[in-house]
Amino acid sequence: MRVRLGAVSYLNTRPLVDGLDPSRFDVRFDLPARCAALLHANEIDAGVIPSIEYARGDYVIVPRVAIASEGPVASVAVFSSRPIAGVRTIALDTSSRTSVALVKVLCRERFGIAPEFVHEGPDLDRMLARCDAALLIGDPALWTDHAARGLDKIDLGEHWTAHSGLPFVWAFWAGRPGAIGAREAVALAEARDRGRRAVDRIAREYAAGDSRRAALAERYLRENICFDLGPRHEEALARFYASAQRLGLIEQAPALRFVAPD
């Protein structure tokens, strides 16, 4: 039987799945929050889940593979009609879980504000009609021209790194113990390696003939996104989980458990 995988439908996940063997893996694409829900419901064997969701289930992590950033990430940001210090209400993208947790952590620990949070679909006009600022993730955040709209773009990856001195891990492959093994983990890491070598083609295909977007997509995959999960990323996860626990966003900061090698 093929392994059931849930992947995020955004550009930043494409290098992780581009080289997967379709005879071995059955991949479906969904928003990050939906990937997490499918894994929780045992409707997939493993998924690229938001990192906060690892703390909410009994999972093992595929080693060495993640969607991470160090410094500006470009695709996770608060778009604001006023300086962040004056923001009183933030609309939160319902597509997200990790970014929602991170913006709450940064509001408390870095920005020193305590805004009201409102959950909305990723429609920037509607979000800003209701709130001072709006959290967008993924492609909607990447493609939005904030300067043309007269908005500030507060990049959460940039602010996390400035605050912590660490990268940020947005998502990674995780599955239930026994549902995914060492051979599958190796195949997922190898697919990541192939996808990383093909980001120029992936960007062109994803942009569907739009040369400006293709250039932006390639730069984003090369300069903003890191697909590794190493010791500093593990340190960053531990710090994020500790902050999330202090705010009551998770019950307990989890230990990181990885798929065991053969």
Task: Establish how many alpha carbons lie within 13 A of residue 215's alpha carbon, considering only the half-sphere containing its beta carbon.
Answer: 2
Domains and CATH numbers, the chain: 3-68+167-210+224-246 (3.40.190.10), 76-164 (3.40.190.10)
Contact 77, 153 (CB under 8 A): yes
Instruction: Report the chain's terminal Cα–Cα distance, integer Å.
Output: 20
AA identity, residue 144: T
Tell me whether residue 261 is exposed, middle or buried, using C-beta atoms within 10 angstroms of its C-beta: 0 to 12, 13 to 18, 19 or more.
exposed
Residue 58, both tokens: 């009994």
What is the distance between the alpha carbons of residues 99 and 229, in angstroms, rounded to a whole number? Answer: 18
Predicted confidence at residue 96, as pLDDT, reads: 83
Kindly report, residue by residue over 24-59, the tens digit of the pLDDT. 999 999 988 889 899 999 999 999 999 999 999 999
3-class state of residue 180 by DSSP: strand
Measured on CA atoms in the order 246, 247, 251, 255, is the torsion positive or negative?
Answer: negative
Predicted confidence at residue 219, as pLDDT, reads: 97
Average confidence (pLDDT) over 210-227? 96
Predicted confidence at residue 119, as pLDDT, reads: 95
Contact 172, 49 (CB under 8 A): yes
Predicted confidence at residue 257, as pLDDT, reads: 96
Strands 133-137 and 152-155: unpaired
Mean residue pLDDT across the chain: 95
Please report how the helices 98-106 and 231-246 are oriented relative to each other, as an axis angle in degrees rounded to 10: 70
Residue 240: which of 121, 68, 41 has the closest Cα?
68
Kindly report, residue by residue over 130-160, the tens digit of the pLDDT. 999 999 999 999 999 999 999 999 999 999 9
Distances 13 to 18, 128, 260 between C-alpha atoms, Å: 9, 28, 24
What is the distance between the alpha carbons of residues 228 and 104, in angstroms, rounded to a whole number? Answer: 25
Kindly report, residue by residue over 72-129, the tens digit of the pLDDT. 999 999 999 999 999 999 999 988 899 999 999 999 999 999 999 999 999 999 999 9
Contact 232, 167 (CB under 8 A): yes
Q: What share of the chain is helix, strand, coil (3-state, %, to 5)?
A: 45, 25, 30
Predicted confidence at residue 31, as pLDDT, reads: 87
What is the distance between the alpha carbons of residues 208 and 217, in angstroms, rounded to a whole number? Answer: 11
What is the distance between the alpha carbons of residues 125 and 130, in angstroms, rounded to a whole number? Answer: 9
